[in-house]
């Protein structure tokens, strides 16, 4: 037992030593990275209430979520990002596969050791990252900005503005949000005359079944598209898979499937066929009318500016007669 305790202490000491060496090396690299540019210091406050002091606009940003990948690439050139997530290369979920080709770094493991090797001068992370990782970076003085995980389009717009301030590009952020609002208004104008009785109720189907997600971005997408998430009046505390009998009782008008075959075993067309052939759902309106909307996961699952694409996709799928064939809202 005594030897085990000593070994654990030694391992902890060596791990701390290695991490400190990485910090020192990262500092050395950043100091030798060429002539310094004129920079003006500023402060920002993240979603946790933490105030970050930055010496100037960050030039080696590390993004650890696909949402911040997409937002940041709309605000700054790829040259200002040291790394994005590995998901940014996946066309099934990423809207930025082209611009990330010139970015060398990829985040595959959200650990202090992995991120520090990327030599960041700013890390942008969602609020679901582990608190001990956040604390570690703040303890060693590397700015880590935590943003809120959004549940509706308004919050996405707030995050875009916040990240615009963070990277010192507020005008770009405001223009991006303005464009989002204009596109949303265009959709809502086209569906405004649809009476409440004809508004389509949508059930979100995934690999495990039909999803229930309280206060989710999907609910807001449905509302903005002129429809409704069929589960929005349920009062379960946590997200999960709906029992078949509850889904049948809710009787959705449309089943929605995301087109992301992430592991080769989730072909959306096959999922749609199996869903319509399932006798358990045979009495629902969606099955009777063979109403299945297969929409890009790049949009439906987005918590960036591309969430507006999801609203346009869904509105056109629900009410094709309200949109010009092959056109945009």
Low-confidence residues in the chain, pLDDT < 50:
1-37
Model pLDDT, residue 20: 43
With 0-12 CB in 10 A as exposed, 13-18 as middle and 19+ as buried, what is 148?
middle
Model pLDDT, residue 146: 97
Model pLDDT, residue 215: 83
Contact criterion met (CB below 8 Å) for 294 and 269: yes
Model pLDDT, residue 236: 84
Tokens of 300: 């439906």
- Residues 158 and 151: their CA atoms lie apart, in Å, by 11
Contact criterion met (CB below 8 Å) for 176 and 216: no
**Model pTM?**
0.86
Model pLDDT, residue 156: 98
Phi/psi at 254 (5° precision): -140, 140
Pairing relationship of beta strands 240-241 and 209-212 according to DSSP bridges: antiparallel
Model pLDDT, residue 148: 94
Q: Number of helices (H) and strands (E), helices first, in the chain? A: 12, 13
Residue tagged 């010139």 (tokens): 102
What are the Cα distances from residue 329, in Å, to 181, 188, 219, 259? 13, 9, 20, 21
Neighbours of 232 (CB within 10 A): 18
SS3 42: strand
pLDDT tens per residue, range 230-256: 999 898 878 899 999 999 999 999 999
Model pLDDT, residue 87: 97
Model pLDDT, residue 264: 86
SS3 305: coil
Model pLDDT, residue 327: 57
């Amino acid at each position: 037992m005594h030897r085990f305790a000593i070994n654990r202490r030694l391992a902890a000491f060596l791990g701390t030593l290695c991490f400190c060496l990485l910090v020192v090396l990262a500092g050395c690299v950043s100091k030798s990275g060429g002539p310094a540019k004129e920079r003006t210091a500023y402060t920002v406050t993240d979603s946790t209430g933490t105030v970050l002091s930055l010496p100037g606009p960050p030039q080696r940003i590390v993004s650890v979520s696909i949402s911040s990948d997409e937002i940041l690439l709309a605000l700054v050139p790829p040259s200002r990002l040291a790394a994005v997530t590995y998901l940014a290369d996946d066309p099934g979920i990423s809207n930025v596969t082209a611009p990330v080709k010139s970015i060398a770094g990829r985040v595959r493991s959200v650990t202090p050791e992995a991120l520090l090797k990327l030599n960041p001068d700013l890390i942008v992370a969602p609020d679901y990252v582990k608190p001990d990782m956040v604390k570690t970076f703040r303890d060693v003085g590397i700015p880590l900005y935590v943003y809120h995980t959004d549940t509706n389009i308004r919050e996405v717009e707030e995050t875009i503005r916040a990240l615009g301030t963070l990277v010192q590009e507020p005008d770009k952020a405001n223009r991006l949000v303005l464009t989002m609002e204009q596109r949303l208004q265009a959709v809502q104008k086209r569906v405004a005359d649809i009476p409440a009785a004809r508004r389509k109720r949508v059930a979100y189907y995934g690999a495990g079944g039909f999803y229930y997600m309280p206060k989710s971005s999907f609910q807001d997408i449905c509302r903005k598209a002129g429809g409704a998430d069929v589960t929005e009046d349920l009062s379960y505390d946590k997200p999960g898979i709906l029992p078949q009998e509850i889904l049948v009782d809710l009787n959705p008008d449309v089943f929605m499937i995301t087109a992301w075959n992430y592991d080769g075993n989730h072909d959306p067309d096959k999922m749609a066929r199996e869903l319509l052939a399932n006798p358990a759902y045979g009495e629902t309106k969606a099955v009777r009318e063979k109403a299945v909307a297969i929409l890009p996961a790049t949009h439906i699952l987005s918590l960036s500016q591309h969430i507006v694409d999801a609203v346009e996709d869904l509105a056109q799928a629900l009410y094709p007669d309200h949109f010009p064939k092959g056109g945009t809202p």
